[in-house]
């Protein structure tokens, strides 16, 4: 009887998702029809209101779930971030934070069995102390604080018992919702690609052994770095469903939102160097620049966490991307078109206006494509994102004609998310000069850049792509 109840419950939740998508389809059609008789300002307000309602209902429906359904909400929220009106952004972020961080707690007795089963030993044998109250909870597990027998403090991430089975079952059923959502609400969304990406993302996050390997790789690459810290994995206390790492004492990024400009600039530059520079410097990158994956330490350095979503970059892809960046930086429209076509972004080479392509490319990368100090705020980030998501805008119509290959979709969305994270810090900074270090090999223009160069020389790093 219990198994049947579980299946019914899951079916009921999926029915809620289907009803949500269908309801939004009707409202979407109504909004489009009504907009034909509205002023541009009133039409924009109507679109904002509809998208805000969609976001709020997604949070409400998905917030009661775990696993794949909740991860779907997180992914769609990231994609729709630019559509949320600035006046409602703070409220929406608070609701999203609840979705991401306030997952239902699993009783300690069950979690303890999960730990002991995965490690193959009693809790007291593995740890000197173990706080049974989780310090954080996410969609597929909880994080605990513990002390090893040698006195080291550690973070222990533990998967919910049975979550892998539930997630895999949800992934099979969510494809219907994805199709309805994409077809009726976001006509320009590549639903098949997004569904495949979502499935791969969730399954990777279930693989703690993969995350442990990724974390070790990044920690080794940044060992001894002057302003980037990666917690080390405790290999002997990690397995398929348990991941133990060094404990890092730090504050969330939100703790510096109201700090002085110099502090906000420094934190923003470190985020940019890690998430945008690492793919070209070390041929690897983290695809999840969520603010919860970074901590500000007392000495001003940043610690980066959670490498479940991590990818390698080939030397060929890195060089092609750098060539595209150089063309954009130099405002070489013909080169931007040629490189975009060669990489599969621009399918219609002859029918694409090179100058228009360049203009939209620079618009999308406004926060680091221009060699000047710019103020990066959530309002500006959201405004630019909305231009590419509003069917009435030329940016939207132009983007529909282009293509985003599956292997690049992940990076593109991660960069968009990074701009949103930096926008919350509201820095006034010239990130173009920072990017030129890996785009052109220019000498550093900032103090952090000089520290980076000194460390590179000290450890013998040679960056060629």
Q: With the C-alpha atoms ordered 353, 354, 357, 358, is the resulting torsion angle positive or negative?
A: negative
pLDDT attached to residue 55: 59
Query: Tens digits of per-residue pLDDT, 147-157?
Result: 999 999 999 99
pLDDT attached to residue 156: 98
Distance of alpha carbon 158 from the chain centroid:
21
Query: Tens digits of per-residue pLDDT, 160-195?
Result: 998 888 777 767 666 665 665 555 444 445 566 666
Q: Rounded to the nearest 10 degrees, how much is the dihedral formed by the CA atoms of 431, 437, 440, 441?
A: 170
| CA 5 – CA 9 distance, rounded (Å) | 6
| CA 352 – CA 346 distance, rounded (Å) | 8
| pLDDT higher at 448 or 382 | 448
pLDDT attached to residue 372: 96
Least confident of 62-76, 169-183, 295-309, 313-327: 62-76
pLDDT attached to residue 21: 53
pLDDT attached to residue 23: 56
Q: Is the pLDDT of residue 81 over 50?
A: no
Question: 400 vs 57, 186, 201, 366, 390, CA distance in Å?
Answer: 27, 11, 25, 20, 11
Where are the chain's structural domains?
Answer: 2-103+163-203, 251-465
Q: Is the pLDDT of residue 200 over 50?
A: yes
Query: Across all residues in the chain, what is the average pLDDT?
Result: 81
Q: How confident is the model at residue 64 (pLDDT cuts 50, 70, 90)?
A: low
| CA 63 – CA 71 distance, rounded (Å) | 10
Q: What is the mean pLDDT of residues 77-98?
A: 52
pLDDT attached to residue 439: 97
| Residues belonging to the active site | 288
Q: How confident is the model at residue 66 (pLDDT cuts 50, 70, 90)?
A: low
- Residue 317 has phi, psi (to 5 degrees) of -65, -40
| pTM, to two decimals | 0.81
CB within 8 A of 221, min separation 6: which ones? 282, 284
């Amino acid at each position: 009887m219990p198994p049947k109840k579980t299946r019914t419950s899951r079916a009921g939740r999926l029915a809620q998702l289907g009803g949500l998508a269908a309801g939004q389809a009707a409202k979407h059609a109504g909004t489009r029809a009504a907009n034909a008789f509205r002023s541009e300002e009133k039409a924009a307000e109507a679109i904002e209101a509809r998208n805000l309602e969609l976001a709020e209902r997604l949070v409400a429906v998905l917030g009661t779930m775990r696993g794949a359904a909740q991860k779907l909400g997180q992914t769609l929220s990231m994609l729709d971030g630019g559509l949320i009106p600035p006046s409602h952004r703070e409220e929406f972020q608070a609701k999203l934070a609840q979705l991401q961080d306030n997952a239902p707690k699993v009783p300690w007795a069950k979690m303890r069995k999960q730990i002991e089963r995965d490690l193959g030993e009693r809790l007291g044998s593995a740890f000197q102390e173990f706080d049974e109250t989780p310090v954080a909870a996410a969609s597929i597990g909880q994080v605990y604080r513990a002390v090893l027998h040698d006195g080291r403090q550690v973070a222990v991430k533990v998967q919910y018992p049975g979550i892998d089975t539930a997630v895999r079952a949800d992934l099979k059923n969510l494809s219907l919702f994805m199709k309805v959502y994409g077809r009726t609400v976001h006509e320009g969304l590549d639903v098949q690609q997004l569904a495949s990406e979502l499935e791969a993302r969730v399954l990777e996050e279930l693989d703690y052994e993969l995350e442990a390997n990724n974390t070790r790789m990044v920690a080794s690459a940044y060992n001894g770095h002057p302003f980037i810290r990666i917690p080390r994995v405790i290999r002997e206390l990690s397995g398929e469903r348990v991941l133990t790492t060094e404990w890092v004492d730090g504050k969330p990024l939100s703790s510096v939102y109201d700090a002085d400009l110099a502090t906000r600039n420094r934190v923003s530059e470190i985020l940019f160097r890690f998430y945008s520079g690492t793919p070209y410097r070390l041929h690897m990158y983290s695809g999840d620049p969520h603010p919860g994956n970074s901590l500000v330490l007392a000495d001003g350095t940043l610690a980066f966490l959670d490498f479940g979503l991590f990818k390698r970059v080939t030397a060929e892809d890195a060089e092609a991307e750098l060539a595209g960046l150089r063309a954009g930086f130099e405002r070489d429209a013909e080169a931007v078109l040629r490189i975009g076509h060669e990489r599969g972004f621009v399918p219609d080479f002859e029918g694409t206006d090179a100058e228009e392509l360049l203009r939209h490319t620079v618009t999308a990368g406004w926060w680091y494509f221009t060699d000047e100090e710019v103020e990066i705020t959530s309002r500006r980030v959201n405004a630019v994102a909305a231009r590419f998501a509003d069917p009435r805008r030329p940016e939207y119509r132009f983007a529909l004609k282009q293509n985003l290959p599956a292997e690049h979709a992940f990076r593109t969305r991660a960069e968009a998310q990074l701009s949103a994270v930096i926008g919350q810090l509201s820095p006034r900074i010239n990130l173009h000069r920072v990017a030129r270090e890996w785009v052109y090999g220019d000498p550093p223009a900032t103090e952090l850049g000089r520290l980076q160069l000194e460390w590179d020389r000290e450890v013998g790093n040679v960056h060629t792509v």
